[in-house]
Amino acid sequence: MASSINIYSNGLIIVMLIYSFTFLASISGRIEERKQMRMVMLGSSPPKCVNRCKGCRPCIATLVIPPHTNKGLKTITSREDEGYYLLSWKCKCGTKYFHP
């Protein structure tokens, strides 16, 4: 009878070890996924626009592109990147923009 209890406890220990290793592997996999997600995100994130639009609703985060500036008499060379604009986040309500 003592040997059957010993076999039962050994089997229980083995099952618990397998379960714990499986559980730990899934947790570490999720942590790695989160690290990779953080690395993939480039640039800034939108601001939280809660109470930023002076009572206007809905107040939503909007990506704003500044107007293209005129270069004047300067000629544009092929090396200049015309597509480069500084982007910024603003809070928008209707047609009005607010600083976050």
Beta bridge partners of 62: 90
Cα dist from 6 to 12, 17, 19, 23, 35, whole Å: 10, 17, 20, 26, 43
Q: Is the pTM of this model over 0.85?
A: no
pLDDT in 10s for each residue of the chain, 100 residues = 556 666 667 777 887 777 676 666 566 667 777 776 666 656 678 889 998 998 899 999 999 887 766 655 555 555 555 556 678 899 999 999 998 8
Tokens 């003592």 belong to 2
